[in-house]
A and B are shown apart, each in its own frame.
Chain A
């Protein structure tokens, strides 16, 4: 089948090759405009799209997979899949949600290839948690009468503790907090991406924050003993 392309290229007619448009795409081109440009065969649309979303996707995948090396491999596969499926993209759906959904599915595939364990190895479950880190009882907040350990930590140390505590969260809490706080996605977009009701997203964000606080205070307490 490829001989048709060889003949076409030999005579200077190659509709299968990308080309640069005579007028470059504007810097403010929207995602849909870039997708349309790529569908018309403009190569610079691909470069612009990759530049625009690779940092965000890499950040998201790094948080989700907790491994920057694997995140880079997955990101590579994501872009290959995007290029294959771009013609099937529905313009009525936000492009960022469609893109992150592809990344998420690839990350889930990777999770399935790994162990099924979702909790960080070595971190014991608290009495009121399941092995998945889900809270069994209503929120048990730290009493506010005494100063919280968080109050005693300097800001830099707080960030360090936060980073360590964040990595200890179960994957589904890490994911939703990352999408909410790092990717600037609206709650409705997150719900669409995760294919869960909006109320579930809100609950996960709320519980994730509470669990993160527990992890952080647990790390902070152990440091002050």
Chain B
């Protein structure tokens, strides 16, 4: 490839701004009218590409994008808050257990004396009452949880 061919091969890059013309190139373009004309054609091509009509987003679509983005961000924050609360509750539960664990045998012994029941029956009774309480609370909150997930879907849609 001679100097002329090498310069011709670089003209597209010069027109696109990816290649800076050096002194050698400038001198050649000043002396060679065909290469100068070729560079001009590539420059026109680059300008034509810049002027290609751009697809436009409708205002309605833009408004929908904003609503969706806001709804998703709120969902992310809500999820993060819920995880924080859950983590706090779990830590609280374990801390509470650690504090009252030494008192459990004393409490079971006291209750078994009062109710004249063996200690394992007291433990079974206590667990049964606790699980029943959780079941009642869970069933009571179920409509609230369903309403929450429905609201979230509605917001996103």
The listed residue (B8, B68, B144) touching A6 by CB distance below 8 A is B144
Cβ of B50 < 8 Å from any Cβ of A?
yes
Closest A residue, CB atoms, query B38: A144
Cβ of B109 < 8 Å from any Cβ of A?
no
- B68 neighbours in A (Cβ, 8 Å): 76, 79-80
What is the interface of chain B, defined by CB distance below 8 A to chain A? 1, 8-9, 11-13, 15-19, 34-35, 37-38, 41-42, 44-46, 48-57, 61-62, 64-66, 68-70, 72-74, 76-83, 85-86, 141, 144-145, 148-149
> When chains A and B are docked, how far (Å) is the Cα of A15 from the Cα of B76?
11
Partner-contacting stretch, out of A40-48, A97-105, A120-128: A40-48
The listed residue (A41, A79, A84, A150) touching B65 by CB distance below 8 A is A79
The listed residue (B8, B44, B78, B141) touching A139 by CB distance below 8 A is B8
> When chains A and B are docked, how far (Å) is the Cα of A82 from the Cα of B72?
9
Q: Could you say which of B54, B69, B83, B149 has the most chain A C-beta atoms within 10 Å of its C-beta?
A: B69
13 A-B pairs within 8 Å (CB atoms) are namely: A3-B145, A6-B148, A16-B74, A18-B74, A50-B66, A58-B56, A72-B61, A80-B72, A144-B34, A151-B41, A159-B53, A187-B18, A209-B45
The listed residue (B51, B62, B70, B83) touching A43 by CB distance below 8 A is B70
B98 to chain A, nearest CB (A): 23
Q: Are B12 and A139 in contact (CB under 8 A)?
A: yes
B119 to chain A, nearest CB (A): 35
> When chains A and B are docked, how far (Å) is the Cα of A62 from the Cα of B16?
22
Q: Are A46 and B46 in contact (CB under 8 A)?
A: no
